[in-house]
Amino acid sequence: FDQTPLISTFHSLGLYIARLEHVDLGLKKYFSILDEKDSNSLIKEAIKDNDLDPKQFEPNRIKYIINKERNNFSDISDLEEKATTLIEQSIVKVWKQYEKKKQEMHACDFDDLLLKPVKLLTNNKEIRKKYQESWSHIHVDEYQDTNDVQYRFIKLLMNENNNICVVGDGDQTIYSWRGANVKNILNFENDYENAEVVILEQNYRSTKNILRAANE
């Protein structure tokens, strides 16, 4: 591994690991990445393949439900087990077809870029140790906007030294609508023993009028 610092988003870090570990993930090294439009098109095809009405089973809504399940670390079998209604059973069928289509295309969607590396690091001790030994220190910006998958990703990359620094403000979380969990930053001191909190109270960007209005 290169010893220079690696700076990336969570998704590009996931892609980086997925490319290197593509064999263990059952992927081609140069698999394609689906954007939101591509994913929606595949979901729509999966709905039609199951002879379902796209007006009744709205693709964006179905995709949202599938993504929510996946980001809660549920897989198809989990949803299938608890599916009791016709709609839930239909979603299971669409999800299965969606995964099949991605596999045939040798493609991953954005969620896969986080979920696949997280599952690999969880289940493969040898690979997990390799990455823990590769990066001695981890720094995360805007920690209040991390979601549960990203939180687990970080924990899996941590080595026994717990050399982690995060920056964030629980009062500034803005992405709860897409899964951000403010508890990640609020519980940081509980997660990491001997954590030191440095409060940044000096504002260098805003005038006094803006600060006064914000504080009120």
* Mean pLDDT on 12-21: 97
* Both tokens assigned to 120: 């690999």
Give the 3-state secondary structure of residue 84: coil
Nearest to 8 by CA among 163, 135, 100: 135
Task: Assess contact for 149 and 121: CB atoms under 8 A.
Answer: no
**Is 0.75 surpassed by the pTM of this model?**
yes
pLDDT (0 to 100) of residue 156? 96
Q: What is the pLDDT of residues 24-50, one digit of tens each?
A: 999 998 999 999 999 999 999 999 999
- Give the contacts of 25 (CB within 8 A, at least 6 positions apart): 18, 116, 117, 120
Which amino acid is it at 198?
V
Q: How far apart are alpha carbons 55 and 57 in whole angstroms? A: 6
Bridge-partner residues for 33, per DSSP? 108
Confidence of residue 18 (pLDDT cuts 50, 70, 90): very high
